[in-house]
């Protein structure tokens, strides 16, 4: 939960524009509200940390960010090192690259870095992540699943995430990789959680009101399973097709939003925020 009015979570569905208008990455710069902010790029998720670090350093420099520090945290020992902790305390925006979300949670979970991430949301910092860096933000994350096929009962693998957003399961590259089936399967198994599927070059910007705005070129798909009437989800015959009824779905492009507290979509998000 975000408590500080200047803190934001920016959750990106992957493949964000880095060469043209850079709408999503530009928003990160705007949200810091500082003349000379310090950006941190955490490359834990990727197997090519040097390339990812150089790429984002170059992009953020093109957006006017003079201070970008790349932190390649490769082990739990790294995640508890004093110098890493000090660098993160001084950062204004903490950005997670894509890769493997399980690397993030298994390496950072329960460490000093993990604690600092939660504290950062009380101190007015920005935390952003793309692709795997988006999935890791939820309490439960999808680690693996079959794309572009009819959903099955129990063919997806899930694991605990970093818990930066409560009560949600986030999936990324959503419509581009046909992932609605696997998110439906995840919600069938966890109907108390809200499914949030984020397209490529699309992001949600979550604030301390517990509402988010959709930005970017794609859409965000919300799956609300609180009123599921029936599902055949169980471990027996896991490869059989999933049956699920009475699921509520919202599809939200840029300019729309969602209230995570009331579970209601927001039409004309900016006008609603102007009135709050």
Catalytic residue positions?
A: 131, 173, 200
Residue reference for tokens 């945290």: 73
Q: Checking DSSP bridges between strand 126-130 and strand 8-12, what pairing results, if any?
A: parallel
CA distances from 254 to 23, 143, 213 (A): 11, 27, 7
Please report how many Cα atoms fall inside a 13 Å half-sphere around the Cα of residue 190, on the Cβ side. 22
Answer left, alpha or beta for residue 25, where phi above 0 means left and psi between -120 and 50 means alpha.
alpha
CA pair distance 249, 230, nearest whole angstrom: 16
Residue 101 and residue 129 in contact, taking contact as beta carbons nearer than 8 Å? no
Up-side HSE of residue 163: CA atoms within 13 Å toward CB? Answer: 9
152/242 Cα distance (integer angstroms): 5
Query: What DSSP string describes 150-167?
Result: --BSS--EEEE---SEEE
Residue that has been written with the tokens 């809200």 in this structure: 194
């Amino acid at each position: 939960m975000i408590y500080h009015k200047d803190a934001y979570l920016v959750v990106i569905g992957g493949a964000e524009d880095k060469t043209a208008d850079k709408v999503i990455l530009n928003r990160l710069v705007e949200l810091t509200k500082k003349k000379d902010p310090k950006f941190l790029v955490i490359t834990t998720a990727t197997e090519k940390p040097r390339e990812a670090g150089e790429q984002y350093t170059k992009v953020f420099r093109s957006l006017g960010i003079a201070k970008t520090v790349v932190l390649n945290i490769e082990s739990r020992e790294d995640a508890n090192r004093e110098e890493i902790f000090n660098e993160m305390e001084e950062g204004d925006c903490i950005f997670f690259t894509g890769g493997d979300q399980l690397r993030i949670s298994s390496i950072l979970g329960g460490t000093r870095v993990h604690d600092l991430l939660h504290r950062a949301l009380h101190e007015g910092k920005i935390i952003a992540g793309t692709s795997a860096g988006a999935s890791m933000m939820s309490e439960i994350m999808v680690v693996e699943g079959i794309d572009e096929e009819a959903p099955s009962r129990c063919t997806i693998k899930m694991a605990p995430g970093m818990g930066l957003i409560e009560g949600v399961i986030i999936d990324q590259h959503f419509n581009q990789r046909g992932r609605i089936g696997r998110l439906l399967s995840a919600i069938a198994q966890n109907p108390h959680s809200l499914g949030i599927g984020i397209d490529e070059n699309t992001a949600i910007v979550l604030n301390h009101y517990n509402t988010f705005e959709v930005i970017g070129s794609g859409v965000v798909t919300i799956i609300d399973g609180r009123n599921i009437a029936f599902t055949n989800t169980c471990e027996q015959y896991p490869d059989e097709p999933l049956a699920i009824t009475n699921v509520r779905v919202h599809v939200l492009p840029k300019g729309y939003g969602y209230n995570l507290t009331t579970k209601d979509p927001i039409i004309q998000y900016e006008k609603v925020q102007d009135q709050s």
